[in-house]
A and B are shown apart, each in its own frame.
Chain A
Amino acid sequence: MTDKASPVISVNGVSRWFGSVVAVSDVSFDINPGITGLLGPNGAGKTTLLRMMTGLAETSTGTVTMFGESVRNNPPLYQRIGVMSEHETVYDFMTGREFVLMMGRVRKVPNIQKAADHAIELVDLVDAQHRPMRTYSRGMRQRMRLAATLVHDPEVLILDEPLNGADPRQRVHFKKLLQQLAQSGRTIVLSSHILEEVEELADTVLLIINGKLAASGEFRAIRAALNQRPYHVRVVASSPRALASMAVNLPSVDAVHIDPDGGVVILSRNVQDLQMELPRLAQQGSITLKRVEPLDDSLESVFGYLVEN
């Protein structure tokens, strides 16, 4: 679908300010086919960045290119992109099918009826397609918006908080659909506050904090690179105080505390050594280890750490 040597989306030194407020500051990255998660706390500048990536907003400095072309004011390029914004407003006087057809028509889709059938089937809304969209639940509206985004079979999908309002079954369906689309060579940029889902879906993550790119790359690689931060491991043991007093002397342990539920929380920068030492320690002290669980092997904790620092 694309030249493998060049990235699909290229963001180079992009900044955007509104008066004296800097929303995005000197951000650069490339995006290749597959699923890329765009993450950051509220107000981090994610939506502003997505809007500049789609050409909806002008950059103050820097450039955004897609397939080597500028995204701003480039209508022919938009034939290749599907964008689903975070705003859930729809033309509520239309039926779902009318909306998908309208979006297909403005994108000059050939064989529009067949394309609409296919897109609506993909989001599993065939039975509700003839109902006015004002009667839809939030999740249904989101799915029909996704169908309208997919109707012209775009090569690039930019989805801002697409899972809002979806129930668990719809989320599973949606994840499968995105994975299928990514496997077929599409480039998908996904912004979401549901971190576990991004973690499950995204091959690559971009962490935006205070308008800056805090980290980018494969999630676990980013996590490993954050070696200044100790991992948190929670241990449920038969004798928590004894375990804590012994563990604190281990070279792989930075600190130990006992949480209100009686669990021993161990902070370690060297989890591999800790994994070896902990059973030995338990054996020495005749302590039964009931459960050992990492507390922070999630995007949310990486996120929190980056925000704090």
Chain B
Amino acid sequence: MGTVYRLSLRQLTGKWRLAIMTVLAVLPIIIAAIMLGAREAPSLQEFETGVMGAMLLGSITPLVVLAIAAAAFANEVEDRTLANLVLSPLRRWEIAIPKLLATITIAAPFIAASAFATSYIAYLGDWRAVFAVTLSSVIGVALYSAAFVFLGLITTYAIGIGLLYIVVWEGFFSGFVAGARLLSIQHYAIALMHGIDPRRFAFDNHLGFLAASIITLVLFAGFAWLSVRRLKTMDVP
């Protein structure tokens, strides 16, 4: 398992990918600093909805994860190197889970640093708020990773479909349609954030902490299971 994990880390940390992720991760920090430094600073609700919710959890986090997760298997399928792993005595979960863990290992530090810095600036060093934002962002990374790793296994258009999901579902529907929030990773992360620090997103409490925790766990395990199952049933090029 360690060999596949190390291999995946090396595969997924190309210079260009890391550069794009760095730029994306820095964006919320810059925007938070600009907004809070402006003459007419936004209200807390506006800031949480716009920067923390829509931008950090609904756009930057899934984009950073998509850039890595979609490639976790897609590159191996495209380069036709997946057979090297599949035709080994490794069980399928010993291939899928290390790929997922490698994706989280790479994406989580970028998003955690971005969430930490953005919330530290916004909440003026309120450690409970900083902890809530950082932890829920990392949980968001894990769930987006599981979903996008699976997506990379079922289609060669993972990037396109993933972008469509981020823009249409997370960006549009979940912002306007209350019911859509029950099927939105962004809103699970928001519910977790609210659960850890009830002062945060108090206006957007559609989902309870317990429900969000259970859904997150079930979906994470579900997508991981689907990836393992897909590896078992797919024709490997």
Contact = CB atoms under 8 A, between A and B. Distances in A.
19 contacts: A54-B87, A56-B83, A56-B87, A58-B233, A58-B235, A73-B92, A75-B88, A78-B88, A79-B88, A83-B83, A85-B83, A87-B237, A89-B80, A90-B81, A94-B10, A102-B7, A103-B88, A106-B4, A106-B89
Interface in B70-125: 79-81, 83-92
Interface residues of A, number: 27
A183 B120 CA distance: 70
Interface of A: 51, 54-58, 73, 75-76, 78-79, 81, 83, 85, 87, 89-91, 93-94, 102-103, 105-108, 148
Contacts of A55: 87
A134 to B, nearest CB: 13
Nearest to A72: B232
Contacts of B80: 85, 87, 89
Contacts of B22: none
A106 B81 contact: no
Interface of A is mostly: loop
B11 interface: yes
Interface of B: 3-4, 7, 10-11, 79-81, 83-92, 232-233, 235-237
B9 to A, nearest CB: 11
A91 B11 contact: yes
A103 B84 contact: yes
Contacts of A106: 3-4, 84-85, 88-90
Nearest to A106: B88
Nearest to A83: B87
A71 to B, nearest CB: 10
Contacts of B84: 103, 106, 148
